[in-house]
């Protein structure tokens, strides 16, 4: 099955397809979501794991997702579209955003409803800092995805900060933690490009494989 998915995706996608994503809209409430058709993949992660840099690296677009000196500036569900029915969704980052409790609660409710109700959502990329993986937010996303039967792909970003042996050790430890979870896992570096082809393949499989 996995091999068939890769072959189908490669046949459907034009070279450089990932660089054709453009910003479409920011969503602050469920009512603002686009029509629930087609396919979309969400990117999630704590606000200091380099999520914007990961998105920009995967799409080969330096300024597609905004990178701020103040972590936590993503305050909406930001939609990047390949066409009317194919989207990458940047979810709000949590952990360092300096906002009031009311705003944090609103984000949490929007995120939960999106994950539970969005029929066109094909999977979630969960980005972690390989040096500090499996924090409280990561555990929460794992629980959300499990309860919603959403496939999960974990990017252990900043892999360039560790040696190859140390990175593989972290991978092995997390694989044990995910033994009963529908999740795949890889090393990634937004700085060096480590794991870039693998991440693009997963994104293409979810967005375009039937």
Name the residue among 45, 43, 40 with its Cα closest to residue 58: 43
The token pair that represents 94 in the structure block: 């949590």
The token pair that represents 8 in the structure block: 């189908």
Q: What is the pLDDT of residue 107?
A: 72
Of 84 and 8, more confident? 84
Q: How far apart are CA 88 and CA 86, in angstroms?
A: 7
Pairing of strands 77-83, 22-27: antiparallel
Q: In angstroms, what CA-CA distances link 157 with 36, 49, 102, 116, 199?
A: 30, 7, 30, 26, 11
Do residues 174 and 134 lie in contact, with contact meaning Cβ atoms separated by under 8 Å?
yes
Do residues 124 and 41 lie in contact, with contact meaning Cβ atoms separated by under 8 Å?
yes
CATH T-level fold of 2-208: Rossmann fold (3.40.50)
Q: What is the pLDDT of residues 77-120, one digit of tens each?
A: 999 999 999 999 999 876 545 556 666 677 778 888 899 999 99
Do residues 202 and 184 lie in contact, with contact meaning Cβ atoms separated by under 8 Å?
yes
Q: What is the pLDDT of residues 129-187, one digit of tens each?
A: 999 999 888 888 888 888 889 999 999 999 999 999 999 999 999 999 888 888 999 99
């Amino acid at each position: 099955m996995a091999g068939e998915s890769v072959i189908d995706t490669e046949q459907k996608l034009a070279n450089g397809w990932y660089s054709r994503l453009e910003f479409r809209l920011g969503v602050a409430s469920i009512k603002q979501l686009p029509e629930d058709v087609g396919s979309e993949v969400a990117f999630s992660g704590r606000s200091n794991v380099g999520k914007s840099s990961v998105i920009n690296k995967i799409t080969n677009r330096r300024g597609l997702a905004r990178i701020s000196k103040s972590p936590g500036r993503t305050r909406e569900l930001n939609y990047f579209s390949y066409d009317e029915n194919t989207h990458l969704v940047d979810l709000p980052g949590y952990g360092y955003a300096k906002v009031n409790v009311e705003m944090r609660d609103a984000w949490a409710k929007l995120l939960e409803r999106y994950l539970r109700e969005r029929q066109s959502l094909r999977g979630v990329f969960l980005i972690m800092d390989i040096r500090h993986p499996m924090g409280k937010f990561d555990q929460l996303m794992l629980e959300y995805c499990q309860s919603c039967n959403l496939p999960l792909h974990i990017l252990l970003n900043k892999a360039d900060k560790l040696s190859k042996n140390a990175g593989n050790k972290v991978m092995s430890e997390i694989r044990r933690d995910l033994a009963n979870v529908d999740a795949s896992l890889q090393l990634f570096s937004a700085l060096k490009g480590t794991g870039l082809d693998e991440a693009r393949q997963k994104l293409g499989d979810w967005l375009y494989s039937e």
